[in-house]
Structure formats: structure tokens, C-alpha cells
Structure 1
Amino acid sequence: MAIKQKTDISMPEVLFTGEGDAAADRRILRIAEEGRLRRLYQGVYTSNLASPPEAVVTRNWLNIVGHLLSGGVISYRSAHDAKPFAGHLYVTRGQRPRTLELPGLTVRVLPGPGVVAGDVAYKDLFLASQARWLLENLATGRGVSERVLSAEALEAELDKMLLIRGEYRFNELRDNCRALAAVLGRDKEFKRLEGIMGALLGTHESKKLRSKQALARVAGLPYDPARLELFDTVFGRLRVEALPELPATADTGTARENFAFFEAYFSNYIEGTTFLVREAEEIVFEGKLIPNRTEDSHDVLGTFQAAMQPPWRDQPPSTADQFLHWLKSVNALVMRSRLDKNPGQWKDQNNQAGATVFVDHTLVQGTLREGFARIAALEDPLARALMTMFVIAEVHPFKDGNGRTARLAMNCVLSAAGRSRIIVPTVYREDYLLPLKAMTNNSDATPYLRAMARIQSWTAAFDYGQARNHVYEALLRCNAFEEDLKNYKLIFPESKPALVPN
């Protein structure tokens, strides 16, 4: 005896009647009567008897709605999303409103103009043009709020369009909206839209705006909203994470000097400014510039000075204004000999590393200010330090020297709190960089927190008060200088750091 399959793989997952083929209709109805098809809606059947009907509809909504409402225009917020939102889809078609209730999907059919110039074919439906859905989402009235984007979300979309496309294309879009408003009878909506777009351009009063993002642009401090979401994810994790408390062990005298030297040496090595340790000692302690490498020499010296001397070493900023000034000051010190890199000046072009594109150059200051608000709200010094480094690394505010600036900023926070600074040795390069990339790409803070807590514990385990050559030998035994990351791993010294006493 044959066992009936729950899903008939010989048939499409969704089948329709009423498409003009009477024989095909009779076949579908016969198979349905045999129990091999499930009815989802009038004229809509599925051969998948195993999956929940809601899942079938979710996968096949475009074909189903196209069959039921052929030629309809996906409109309002549905046109912006190009898919259902929260189980609802809005389609403009015909002369009367009605509602189609399918498993897991409610389709609101709204009367109005059919396809107009600019609408795009989308299988058996159409997607409202950008100009059309902008106007539709500014509609007001009873029951309209459920099918339109919030004012804040719409302003954020317009702000993004202005950023990416520039003023010329933005004005062109406004002209298209004006012409379409006359066709659709949406002059009132266009008037509201013109006010918002004008406010973003600075030609209308900003009181027309509601969203924080749009208001920030008008105030001259636009920020990257996607980065703020990422900052909030990391901030939320850091607020609740139980982090180790390792006291500073190299705050004065020889220990402070030795620590600052190796911090500067490794921080530059990670960025490709590589010297022998003896060469770096000559630069820092003997005032010698390595022949043909004057700029590289100054990079190491500037990083050392920032790690040794206040205010860069241990006086972190307490306001957003001070934060921006501090960053520019440190970058200017580290990169002072590289005039082609505009030391201490915000980048004027976008930058990226591999596939990671950093914050747009027009959004640097606003995004840093938003990042600082989250830094300042963290109580734990290590949490604050790690948030500081991540914000700077993610924004990448300068043409060059961003990594060194970010690590110095992190360590400044730690020194101010009496906690151990962090050295990232050459052998730990990937363990440091890959977790940063994981946060950028996956919003996963766990590898970053684990990696940074581990390397701080390692850093604090050395005696920096001994002669510098002995510190070097101790670091050497722990593979700190190794570049062959496949065959060498970080080794901890025998001594373990103590915890801060309660």
C-alpha cells in the first residue's frame, strides 16, 4: 500500500484555479478532494501539507497576491518595504476597499489610481515608484496611520537619500513628486513633503522635522544611523557584562617608560610601521631618526609621547566637544610628520578596509558625538575603554592613524581609572582585528570582549619596572614579536595579575 506524501514534489507548492484553463481547474479541484492539496484561499491551493499554511503564504505571497489582485499596485509602506510588514500588505486597486484574509497575511485593498508613470512591474503586480510611495506615506486621516511609515522613519529615509544622492538628485526627486502629486490628487501630501525636504536642505524651517536624525542634519551634525544601531548593541552588552578589574602596574618611573615604549612599538607594528626593537629604542630614547624613514620614526615617537604624557595618557574627555578635540589632538601628535595625511583633521574622503566601509566623511562628527554619549553612560572603566576604541575604529575619522588613535584613547580611559593599559602584540594581531570585524559585520560583541579581556590580563602580567632588555626578553619568550601566526600563539608569563581589591 502506497503511503501518501505530505508534500507532493511533483507539483508546485502553490496552485491556482481561475486562470482560464478549465481542464487544469478540474484537475486541481479533483486532487484537492483527494486530500493531496490544501485550500489556502478561494482559488489558491498548496501541495505542501507538512508546513503550516502561514509559512506557505509567507514564502509565496507575491505569486498569491499577484493571482488574486493582478495589476494591483503595492503601495504605502508596503511599497517602501517591497514586502508585507507585520503580516499586512497594502495594494491599490479598483474602486472600493476590501480585505483579503489569508493564513498569516492580511491584504488591504485600497481604492485609488492604478498604475502611473514610474511604477515598476513586479511579476503580476506593480511596485509604487519612489515618488509615489513618498507621497502616499504622508497621507493623513482616519485609519491611515497603520499603513504609512512613521514621520521619523520617513524623514530618516529622506535624510539617507540626500546623503547618498546629493542635493541635485534630491531636488530632482522633489520635482518628480510635484508632478506626480497633480496626477494622484495628492497636493496636500506634496506640500508636507516639500516642507520636510526643504528643511533637510536648509531652505525651510527645521520645526517641520521630528526625527532625531533629520534634526541632527539641520543642526550640522548628521550621523550614521546604522552605526548607532551597532553602537547600541555593543553598549547594551557592555552595560551588563561582568568585566575583570586589573590594576595599573606601570604608572611611574622606569615601568611607565618601558610600558609606553612597547605600547608604541606594537601599536605601530600592527599598522605596518615596523622597526627592529633596537631601532625603535634609538628613535625614542636617543632622538635618532632612522635614515630614509623619517615619517615612520615620527609615528613611533608621537605614539610614545601620547602614551607617556598627559593629557593624552590619562586625562580622557568628559564632554562630546572635548572628545572631538582630544581625538584631533592625538592624531595630530602621532601623524605630525605625514602632512599628506592631514594630521589632526577629519577625513575629507570616505575610507574602507577590505569590504568594510567606514562612516561617510560627512557624518564623522555627528556619529562620534552619538558614540560619546554611549561611552559616557558606561560605569565600568574597562567597558568605557572598549566602547571608546570601538567607536573610533568604526567611524575611522581620519585619513590615517585611526588604529593608533583608537588604542591610545582606550588606554587613556584605563589609566585615568587606575586600571592596566592594554598592549596588542604582533602575535595577537588577528585575535584583535577579527573580533572587531565580527562586531561590524554581525553585531556580535562576545569575541571582542573575550579577546580584549584576555590581552589585558596578559599585558598586566609582566614586570615593567625591570631593565628594558629584561622586559624585551620576557615578551620574546611569550611570542609577542612573532609574525608567523599559524605556528606561534600568545603565551602567558608564569606570573598572574592580581585583581583590584574590594
Structure 2
Amino acid sequence: MNAPIQAKTSSRDPVTSQPDLYVAAQLSPGERKRIERLAKGGEVARVYKGLYVKADGGEAEVERRVRANWAAVGGVVVPGGVVSHSSALHGGPSAGTLVISHPTLTRRSVKLPGLTLEIRNGSGNLAGDMVLSQSGLHFAGRTRALLENLGRKTSIKAGQEEVELRLITTLNSSGEKALNSIRDEAASLAHSLGLQEEGETLRHLIGALLGTHQRGELKTREGMQVAMGKPVDKERIERFNELADYLRGAHLPRIEDAIPRGTARHNAAFIESYFSNYVEGTKFAIEDARDIVVNQRIVENRPKDSHDILGVFRLALEAPYRHSPPVAGEDFLPGLEQWHSEMLRMRPEAHPGVIKGQANFAGTTQFVSPSHVRGTLEEGSRIALSVAEGFARAVFYAFLISEVHPFDDGNGRLSRLVMNAELSRVGLHRIIIPTLFHPQYIDCVRKLTRDSEPVDFVRCLAKMARWCAQFDYGNLDILIELLKKTNALEESPVQYMLLNLDGGHELTA
């Protein structure tokens, strides 16, 4: 049996070392004859003049190999060409089609197994284009690709809307300087490409995104939001939609609020404030915290921490904060700013009522960037209105504020307050996250943030809704003793388990 043919290895042309692909022009005369014999025997397939691929695995495998080696294939069929139009914007073939421009070839389609080459007469290598390995092709640079894809979407053009989205991504990741650079490059490239009209369109799009031109040039909602100073975090909006989709179809609890007005409601608001602050690091013995709220006794060496307890307590108890979430849409962030200002009014270092000035993190997770807070909260709060009021919308609000993290401090407390305001608005029991359960709650938030998995997040809040509804809030002394009995005040989930009042394990959703 003849030894298997291997394309000649060359440091000058690495394409020839591909194990699946054989280019006859790059082989010795003896190797070419052997390839032709193997083609007759069906061991390799001739897919184009002078171009062969291994044939083991059948037609589907031949097609896969052609697609996988699209750059080398394009270099053989259209030597000296430039990967252009939608293929340049998408990083290669899209839907099995590779667009290549060439300065001397006429328009035609070349259909190969698994890949169609759309050849267009157009400019060859220009400034900004990149050498595509050593395939014999170039790859259109960013600005050229944007120009070539403007206009109505066609079989080879991505269209203006996708160009806008790419410009927005560039602005978000690299800033205004990058868009100005694209605009400057386009001024010279447009003439070389014969795309002067597209050059003007690109200039106006960039101007609109940067606020120096009329917004009427823009076609996408995302672009209009950027132009209005309200860019959105697209990844977060997708995650919010996934959570909303789940909430619309999930079976959710409806636990009525049976806590009467007066002392019991005051006691419940105190317990809510105590736990919400404790898990965020404002730690007092529950008896000391009680003294702060009941007797208005500010701890002398911790005045700001004392006011943190009082701030959350007021918002959990008093109108309108207790039962009126901020209005969705463009008024949502101003509403949150007012809540935040009231909650942390004694902490000027936390910039009460002011959006964060720098990106904030939880471990390796970066929350929404400051420039995208306004637009993301506006859009996210509108999505909230698409889910049922009550428990579903409350859960959504909790994640929305936690995921955006709009302020330097107090985001966790604020997220739970707005969640509970929605519950109180429709007469449902407010949810308290006790100290022992907080690590599990955060794990569920993290799972939704990182894996877009909402089930556990919703379930854990349903558990806590049922757990909170067990207690009689009428007598604070008895209530505190019962909370201790359930291990709610403990910090280690390794040593303790959250119990029901009857001593059983925590409730299921």
C-alpha cells in the first residue's frame, strides 16, 4: 500500500501542512501524481482545480473539511482576493458563504462542497486590510468592512442595523476615540472603494452616536439609546429577558401579608432592616440594633452604622417607600436615586443618591458600567412590567437592581427594599433574607448572573417567603427568641441549618 500523501511542509506557506487539504501547486510532481491516483481510488476528493481534501467519512466530512479550511480554499480559488463585506464583519463564512473581492475578476459564484464563494469585482488590498495567514488572501480591515456592509441588507451585506450595533460595541469597549478613528479612516477609504455615499452615511452614524449629528440617521433602538445618552448593557438585557420569560410561565406562591398595622408591622420592619444590614457588613447584636430602632439610641462609637439600621427601617415602614416601587421607564433611576439618598443620607462618603462613578465588582464579576446604568435600568424596568405583578415582578426587581449595581454602596439593601415594596403594593408578605440563608441566596444570584439560570434564584426567594410567613410579629421579645431557635442569626451554613418553627428543615419552594 502506498504511504499516505502529506502536503509538503514549508515555513513559507503553512497552508501546505494542513493534514486535510492538498494544494497541487504546492506539491512535488511525484506527490501530485500520487494525489491523482488517490483521487481515482476515492481516498481524496477533488473539490476544485488543483485542490483536494481527504474523503474518508463521506460527503459530510468532505464538506466539513472544506469549511474548516476556508481561508486556504479561498486562496486557491481567488488568489490575491480580499475577504470582504459580510464575511469580513462576521470573521469568515456566514451561512456557508464566503465573500471575496478581487480587483480584476468579474462577479460570479463558485459552489464547492460545503462552501460557496461569492466573488465580487472590487478593490484589492487597501490600508488597514490584514494578511490572512499565508493563504494568499487579505482580510478587510474594520473600517472597510463597515463601509462595505452599509445600505440595505443583501446576500453579501449585513446591512446598516448590524453596522450600527458594531459601532455601539466599539464605543462601549474602546470609547469615543475609536469611533473618531474609524470616521477619519473612512474619509480616505470610501474614495478608494467607490463608496462615497456609504462614507457619508458612516460619518453621520458616528456623529449621531457621539451626539454631534441628528439622531434620525440611526435605525436601531440601541443606537438611539446611545445617542440619547442611554446606552444599554446588551448582555444584561438578554439575561433580564430570560428571567422574565421564566417568571411568566413559572408556578409562583401567593402568600398574603397577615401582619397587622401598628406594633407588629414595626417589628417586622425592624427585623427586615436588621438582617438586610447585617449581611452587608453592618453587624450589631440584635438587642443593640433593637435599642437603636425602638429607643432611637445611636451607638456612640458607630453613629453611621446606627443610621444605616434606621435608614432601611424607615424605607421598610413608611410611605411611599413601603408599598410604591419606583415608576418603570425613564423615571426608574431617579426614583432609585431618591430611595438611595434617603437610605444613606448620613453617609456622605457613600455618595447617597448619586450613580457610581467607577465600575464595581463582586469577585471577578463586573457589574454594569457607569455609562450604561441609566439605559439598562430604564430598559430593564420596562421588561419588569411584562411579568405579572406581585411575586414575579418583585423577584425581577430584586435581580435587576442587584445585577446593575447602580451605586457605590447599598445596592443589596436597595434591591431587597424595592422587591418588598412590590410585594406590599399588592398585599403580599415581605421577604426577609436571614443571615444564615444569605450565602445560599448569593449563590443563586451568582448562578443567574453567570449561567443565566433563573430557577434556583426564584425558588430560594419562594422558600424565604414561606419561611417569613411562619412568624407572629406581634411581640418582639418572643420573635427574637424564635429567630434564634431557627438558627436565623447564625453565620455558618456548614455548622447550622435554617429551621422552621417546628424544628424541621427549611421549607421547600
**C-alpha distance in 2, partners of 1:30/1:491?**
77
Q: Is the 8 A contact 1:435 1:447 kept in 2?
A: yes
Aligned runs of 1:311-350 on 2, under 5 Å?
311-350=320-359
Q: CA deviation at 1:41?
A: 5.2
User: Are the counterparts in 2 of residues 17 and 28 from structure 1 also a CA contact under 8 Å?
Assistant: no
In structure 2, C-alpha distance between the alignment counterparts of 1:345 and 1:158, rounded to whole Å:
29
Q: Deviations over 1:340-373 (max 9, x none)?
A: 2210111222222222211121221121111111
Aligned residues: CA RMSD: 2.6
The worse-fitting range, judged by mean Cα deviation, of 401-410 and 486-495 is: 486-495
Q: Label 1:304 to 1:115 Cα distance change in 2 as closer, same or farther (>3 A).
A: same
Kindly provide the amino acid, as one letter, of the partner of residue 198 in structure 1.
G
Instruction: Map 1:88-237; keep pairs closer than 5 Å.
Output: 88-93=97-102, 94-123=104-133, 124=135, 125-139=137-151, 145-237=154-246
1:87 aligns with 2:96: yes
Q: Would you say the 8 A contact 2:21–2:69 is kept in 1?
A: no
Equivalence map 1:265-304=2 (5 Å): 265-304=274-313
Matched-pair identity in % = 36
Structure 1 pair 86/438, CA: closer, same or farther in 2 (3 Å)? farther
Equivalences for 1:242-253 in 2 at 5 Å?
242-253=251-262
1:48 Cα deviation from its structure 2 partner: 4.6
Could you tell which deviates more after superposition, 419-428 or 211-220? 211-220
What one-letter code is carried by the residue in structure 2 that aligns with 1:184? L
Q: 1:265 touches 1:280 (CA, 8 Å); kept in 2?
A: yes
Alignment partner of 2:23 out of 17, 27, 30: 17
Distance 1:268 1:310 in 2: 20
C-alpha contact 1:12 1:47 (8 A) present in aligned 2: no
- 1:145 aligns to what SS in structure 2? coil
Determine if contact 2:53/2:62 at 8 Å carries over to the other structure. no
Aligned residue type for 1:95: L
Out of 480, 483, 508, which is 1:472 matched to?
480
Q: d(CA) in 2 for partners of 1:150 and 1:249?
A: 57
Q: Confirm or deny: 8 A CA contact 1:458 1:492 kept in the other structure.
A: yes
Cα 1:372–1:158, aligned 2, differ >3 Å: closer, same or farther? same
Give CA deviations for 1:289-314 in whole Å, capped at 9, x if unaligned: 22332222211110111111111111
Contact 1:318 1:376 in 2 (8 A): no
In structure 2, the residue matched to 1:494 is 502
Shift of 1:388: 0.9
Alignment partner for residue 30 of structure 1, among 17, 33, 37? Answer: 37
Distance 1:426 1:98 in 2: 69
For 2:477 and 2:127, locate their aligned partners in 1 and report how far apart those are by CA, in whole Å: 76
Unaligned runs of 5+ in 2: 2-16
Q: Alpha-carbon deviations, 1:200-223, whole Å to 9, x = none?
A: 222222211111111122233332
Inter-partner Cα distance in structure 2 for 1:57 and 1:492 = 63
Which residue of 2 is the match for residue 46 of structure 1?
54
Q: Deviation digits for residues 107-135 of structure 1, max 9, x if unmatched?
A: 21222111111112222232211111111
**Structure 2 CA distance, aligned partners of 1:250 and 1:37?**
79
Bigger relative contact order, structure 1 or 2 (CA pairs below 8 A, ≥6 apart) = 1
Q: Give deviations 1:230-270, integer Å, cap 9, x for gaps.
A: 22111111112121111113242332122211211111122
Q: For residue 96 of structure 1, give the secondary structure of its aligned residue in structure 2.
A: coil
Q: Secondary structure at the match of 1:107?
A: strand
TM-score for both structures, normalised by structure 1: 0.90
Give the secondary-structure state (helix, strand or coil) at the position aligned to 1:419: coil
Aligned residues, how many?
486
Q: Aligned with 2:21: secondary structure?
A: strand
Output the CA distance in 1 between the equivalents of 2:206 and 2:363: 35
Separation in structure 1 between the aligned mates of residue 198 and residue 38 of structure 2, nearest angstrom: 50
Off by >6 Å, runs of 4+ in structure 1: 495-498
**Matched residue of 2:24: which SS?**
coil
Q: Partners in 1 of 2:184 and 2:484 — Cα distance? A: 67
Flag the 1:13–1:450 CA change in 2: closer, same or farther, 3 A: farther
The answer for the alignment partner of 2:399 in structure 1 is 390
**Structure 1 residue 411, shift from structure 2 partner:** 0.4
Q: Which amino acid aligns with 2:289?
A: A
Q: Residue in 2 aligned with 1:401?
A: 410
Q: 1:393, 1:406 within 8 Å by CA — same for their partners in 2?
A: yes
Shift of 1:66: 4.1
1: CA distance, partners of 2:68 / 2:85: 21
Structure 1, 299-308 or 282-291: larger mean CA deviation: 282-291
CA separation in 2, counterparts of 1:299 and 1:120? 57
